[in-house]
Amino acid sequence: MTTRKQIILAAYVGGVNEHTAWEHPDAGSQIDFSTFRHVAQTAERGRFDYFFLAEGLALRARDGRIFDHDIAGRPDTLPVLAAIAAVTEHLGLVGTLNATFNEPYELARQIASLDHLSGGRAGWNVVTSFDAYTGANFRRGGFLPHAERYVRAEETVATVRELWDSWAADAIAADKDSGVFLRDGRAGEFSHHGSQFDIEGRFTVPRSPQGRPVIVQAGVSPQGRDFAASTADVIFSPYSKLAEGKAFSADIAERAVKFGRDPEHVKILPSAGFVLGDTREEAEEKARHILEQQLSDRTIQVTFEQVWNRDLSGYDLDGPVPDIDPDPEAPTFIQGRAFIFQDRFQTVRTWRELAEQRGLTLRGLAHEVARGPGYVGTPEQVADQLDTFVQEGGADGVVLGSHVVPSGLDEFVDRVVPLLQERGSLRTEYSGSTLRDNLGLPLPDAATHLASTH
């Protein structure tokens, strides 16, 4: 019997963004269904837990000029996942859907429907969106400050769960002899009165195979962490290095206990990339090349402008790091991009010191601080890096993206997955029939509704 922790794997298709080498000769469409199907079927061949899609509800732009390497053109998540449900059997299907702009009733219907269509493989990544610019695309306009977005997200998820619980598992009799279809005359009845939603009526979708589809959360502020620790089954985190991953896991575990939850029931998966070579040198060379492609002049400029919150177009990328401070007062400089550096001033100070110590230009600094292509090495080395990260408590697994879509994941599945399986760190067959089962998450109590309200 192995005592190794089982690595949770998710496959991610990000569309056109700064991590995708869409110009690569082997790259296919970022939009056609064939791309999504290829990645999903490859992930299932590799016994991945789920296929994952993020969501962008605005094109990212500055002064009306679209930043076209940043998620320009991405189909809606749910139809893609529904179509993938039909061409896969075991793979979980996790979609990102915004809690700021959607109503709980429609979210509950959509996700429960995906759970039915897929035989219990649906998951919902709850996001609150990065900024107010997205709101301009919706009728409410620039909508909800950061803190209120989490208040709404918490109540959205709680309400969605009430709706999912409003049908008992045995509410449908479908008895052809007696002609009785519904056994429970109160099926779908709900009543929710809170600060965000004041709704009551009937929910239309019967209880789905997982009862409660898997809840994923992405967001790292103290509020976001509390929301995740109290509510989520899985967290999509940005912490893919061992030390930061361990610190995040410890923090989430502490918060989960505070909310009366077993920390084992909150799985954490950072995003990660990989580059393989026959030798370490070859992989490093490939990784260098990928990073050069990703760090175009415009990407470097946009990245730094987010932090400085200023127009840096007058600064030479091959010159020194700008000698000015960030502007905290100006409106957010890049519309629609995540601001991941919490303290602009501290970030700029640290970068300046780094650049001085190493004699870096602005471009050199960009290469130094870029997240980079992730796990790099031979298949054995990559298997070892990933396995060590998980076994030593960095996280429970990773959300894996490849630079070349759709074929990039094949290499990982063909060359790294068998090594992880040999080590006993990755399943060779799916053990359960639902996403919840495969993730090792407890089943929700199917009788909650009848017991509590009838």
Ligand X SMILES: Cc1cc2nc3c(=O)[nH]c(=O)nc-3n(C[C@H](O)[C@H](O)[C@H](O)COP(=O)(O)O)c2cc1C
CA 49/CA 239 separation, integer angstroms = 20
Distance (Å, whole) CA 247 – CA 394 = 8
In terms of CB distance, is 151 or 199 closer to ligand X?
A: 151
Taking the least distance from each CB to ligand X, the nearer of 214 and 218 is 218
Cβ–Cβ under 8 Å, residues 211 and 164:
yes
Nearest CA-CA partner of 166 in 197, 193, 196, 202: 202
Q: Shortest gap between Cβ of 310 and ligand X (angstroms)? A: 22
Structure tokens at 99: 């809690």
- Closest separation between CB of residue 55 and ligand X, Å? 4
The CB-of-439 to ligand X minimum distance in angstroms stands at 18
Spell 312-333 as b/e; 16+ CB within 10 A means b.
beebebeeebbeeebeeeeeeb
Q: Closest CB to ligand X belongs to which residue?
A: 224
Closest to ligand X by CB, 77 or 208: 77
> Considering the complex, what minimum distance in angstroms separates the CB of residue 350 from ligand X?
20
CB of 58 to ligand X, least distance (A): 9
The 10 Å CB-count burial string (b at 16+, else e) for 118-149 is: bbbbbbbbbbbbbbbbbbeeeeeeebbeeeeb
Q: Least separation, in Å, of the C-beta of 275 and ligand X?
A: 21
Q: Which is nearer to ligand X, 215 or 420 (CB)?
A: 215
How far apart are CB 227 and ligand X at their closest, in Å? 8
Instruction: For ligand X, give the closer residue by CB, 224 or 379.
Output: 224
The per-residue b/e assignment along 413-430, b for 16 or more CB within 10 angstroms, e otherwise, is bebbbebbbeeebbbeeb
Q: Which is nearer to ligand X, 130 or 133 (CB)?
A: 130
**Residue 342 vs residues 137, 267, 338, 346: alpha-carbon distances, Å:** 26, 24, 10, 9
**DSSP E strand boundaries for 33-101:** 50-53, 61-62, 65-66, 92-98
- Cβ atoms of 246 and 394 within 8 Å: the answer is yes
Please report which helix (H) or strand (E) contains residue 246, including its range. Answer: helix 242-258
| Shortest spacing between CB 353 and ligand X, in angstroms | 26
Of 219 and 397, the one with the shorter C-beta distance to ligand X is 219
Interface with ligand X (CB under 6 A): 54-55, 96, 98, 127-130, 218-221, 223-224, 236-238
Q: How many CB atoms lie within 10 A of CB 160?
A: 29
Compare residues 145 and 185 and give the one whose CB is closer to ligand X.
145
